[in-house]
Structure 1
Amino acid sequence: MRLRLRIAAVLGVFVAVNALFVLAVVWAYGVLLPAIVGGTFVLLSDGRLALSLLQFPVSWPTALLLVGLFLAGQLYYGYRRVLAHAGQQTGDSGAGTSETDDHNVDRIVRRLSMTADIPEPTIRVVDDDTPSCYTIGRFTDATIVVTTGLVARLDATELESVLAHEIGHIANRDVTLMTVTTLFLEITDRVYHSSMVARRAVLNPDSLSGQDRAALTWFLPLVALTSVFIAPILWLFPRVADWATRTLSQTREFAADAAAAEIAGNPLALATALIDLTDASETPAADLRTAKIRALCIVPSELVNGRETSSLPPISAASDDEDREQRVRSWLDGTTPSSVDETAGETQTHPPVDERVERLAALAADEEQTRTRVGRA
């Protein structure tokens, strides 16, 4: 419940910031700049200052429509961008037959989908040694991408728990949320960067693009006024969007972990899977604005880049729960906070792995206590 409330609060902030961003841009170019230009002429001609800033250039129904169109555009183009990028990474060229073949991963996902009561997602197994797993698409037509390296790395119970984690993302509609929030972060950052063209022309002219130079040539007064009066207003939005995106991204991982523990019924298996994947993956040093669907992976890692395949490596037999508990304890005892914080700080898309593992271990302990009480009764 606390995770849902936190996600709802962050989403509320996100929608509010979207609305404020649209309203701020409309007000800045529809009221602020015309008032400054007109007020300057009045001041020079009559010697009096006449600025009227407490107004809005469009009606409130029109403003709400603009906000709605802005959000809808992010959703539409965000999906197209993510799906296109994922298609390139997975070699979506029809070379594989994993969508039609019924293999072990298909059967596991089918059973987990029935347990979670969601539409069964499509499975794509990619021939790549990198142990990775992520989900793309919408709630009703989601696709879980699994690499052969992941299947080879994990045992049967760990693989089931990782797939349950992705099912939890689908049930929570996380792909939709992260698609929109990540795109909004890119939009606000680019808009602010564009508003600073005049300043960059003075301080670092070599950084200007062809479009920047064209804007300076044809619209120099507007560019200069934007840099002086509008850029300070736009400065806040990328920072708030960055905070909202990172907070939502990290919180949704905790929620998906909890959902996986409930769906698959083995929190320790997901904990040991996270340990294995963390030890096997190199955390990419990338900002959220360029990470794109890296934020959708179960642990932050480079995207897979292979062909679809219907040939799976053998799935290892499940380990004993006592062995898992010992592995979790040993790993947590040997993990220092500084190293974990450093890993999380490189991308900020995921919470620290040790915190996720600790929460899963606590869930396992709670389940064990519940079983003990039921057995005594």
Structure 2
Amino acid sequence: MSFRRRICAVLGVFVAVNAAFVLALLWAYGVLLPGIVGGTIVYFQHGTVGIDFLRLPVSWPTALLLVAAFLAAQLYYGYRRVLAGTRGADGDAEHAVARTVRRLAMIADVPEPAVRVVDDTEPSCYTVGRLTDATIVVTTGLVEALDAEELEAVLAHEIAHVANRDVTLMTITTLFVEIADRAYRGARLARRALADPDALSQSGRAALYWFLPLVALTYVFVAPILWVFPTIAAWATRTLSHAREFAADAAAARITGNPLALATALLTLAETTPTPATDLRTTGIRALCITPIEPVTGAETASPPRIRRPTDGEKRRERVTAWLEGATPAGPIGGGASETHPPVERRVRRLSELAADLATAGATGRQP
């Protein structure tokens, strides 16, 4: 299956899962629970009951309108939530990172994204956006960790996400992972209250106090309906993200003409970032980053660190070769696949092969 068809197929599954999620909530709280409670009362009073469970509490046009509203809300709030902690800096944004992004956008023939350089030592880079705009967030830690060519390659990778029009898709997909997981956790409130009552939040305790019968019914009848949604949502996010990362890597290599710069940038990030947590609620958010790390938000700086001079090309090649031949670090970022990203080893190997193809094409004078 081609890349485009695979993306369209997973996107169709994602939209269908969103629709099923909304319809499941409508049916559970509008038909199932009222039917069980009301049917039980009627049964004890009259000895018989007749309830139609194969229906929705609203008309189909209204249900479709609610599904569309849910998708629109993900589009709107997903963008706002991810950028909520990045505060704009006062001053001129004409720094080296912004100029590099402008030049790469011109090469890729895409609208110039906004750039925010966040003052944080954690090396991180990600892109969020909507249908009409995109924002690339870079930390000062990333600028300090990479040389000029590596930073350019990472920014080209993010530009490729904009060019491939998958920034909006992943922004709303990651939000649905969190929504589905929170809904499932909320439906299991009664179980969590019995297993670890001290870990309940204040809102959870209030729900138990005021709505204990509803909480119990939700756990028994609604939780089994919702358990599948976080799993399917995580699968959709993982599949989409793996495909888009490989495509963005290849596009960045074409834009810069330097695949090994992106390869060594990935190695640096793999070696300097900690192993991510396995919490599903944060897994989807990491899909926005170039490697599976937490998106960093905070105050923006108008004066990023000085960008280091590029590394010698031969040393870069030697580092990639040595890493692939046995120095691959263990862990989800280094050697194994994560929920949101393919293994760095596979990405680096593909970039190494692209570099070899470019070298062969240059030696023979043909187009790669």
Q: TM-score range by the shorter chain?
A: 0.7 to 0.9
Taking the aligned partners of 2:119 and 2:332, their CA distance within structure 1 comes to: 32
Structure 1 position 375, deviation (Å): 5.0
Distance 1:4 1:50, change over 3 A: same
Q: Give the counterpart letter for 1:309 in structure 2.
A: A
Aligned equivalent of 1:94? 89
Taking the aligned partners of 2:135 and 2:193, their CA distance within structure 1 comes to: 45
Identity %: 62
CA deviation digits over 1:143-188, x for unaligned, max 9? Answer: 3233444334333322221110110122223332222122111111
Q: Is the 8 A contact 2:333 2:344 kept in 1?
A: no
Structure 1 position 305, deviation (Å): 5.3
Note if 1:205 corresponds to 2:229. no
Which of 344, 356, 361 lines up with 1:353 in the alignment? 344
Of the structure 1 ranges 240-249 and 41-50, higher mean CA displacement relative to structure 2 is found in 41-50
Aligned equivalent of 2:40? 40
Give the RMSD, CA atoms, in angstroms. 2.8
Structure 1 position 24, deviation (Å): 0.8
Aligned equivalent of 1:23? 23
Which of 354, 365, 368 lines up with 1:363 in the alignment? 354
CA deviation digits over 1:225-263, x for unaligned, max 9? Answer: 222111111111111112222332333221211111121
Structure 1 position 23, deviation (Å): 0.6
After TM superposition, the score normalised by the length of structure 2 is: 0.88
Q: Give the counterpart letter for 2:192 in structure 1.
A: R
Q: Is the 8 A contact 1:340 1:353 kept in 2?
A: no
Taking the aligned partners of 2:140 and 2:202, their CA distance within structure 1 comes to: 44
Which of 300, 303, 309 lines up with 1:310 in the alignment? 303
Aligned equivalent of 2:150? 158
After TM superposition, the score normalised by the length of structure 1 is: 0.86
Q: Is the 8 A contact 2:174 2:284 kept in 1?
A: yes
CA deviation digits over 1:115-144, x for unaligned, max 9? Answer: 111111233334544433222343543232
Which of 252, 271, 283 lines up with 2:275 in the alignment? 283
Runs of at least 5 residues in structure 2 that lack an aligned partner in the other structure: none
**Number of residue pairs aligned between Structure 1 and Structure 2:** 366
Q: Is the 8 A contact 1:152 1:314 kept in 2?
A: yes
Of the structure 1 ranges 155-164 and 226-235, higher mean CA displacement relative to structure 2 is found in 155-164
Runs of at least 5 residues in structure 1 that lack an aligned partner in the other structure: none
Q: Give the counterpart letter for 2:65 in structure 1.
A: L
Which of 239, 258, 264 lines up with 1:272 in the alignment? 264
Distance 1:255 1:213, change over 3 A: same
Aligned equivalent of 2:13? 13
Q: Give the counterpart letter for 2:235 in structure 1.
A: W
Distance 1:76 1:354, change over 3 A: same
Structure 1 position 357, deviation (Å): 0.4
Taking the aligned partners of 1:339 and 1:204, their CA distance within structure 2 comes to: 34
Q: Is the 8 A contact 2:89 2:302 kept in 1?
A: no
Q: Give the counterpart letter for 1:144 in structure 2.
A: I
Distance 1:344 1:186, change over 3 A: farther
Taking the aligned partners of 2:132 and 2:55, their CA distance within structure 1 comes to: 44
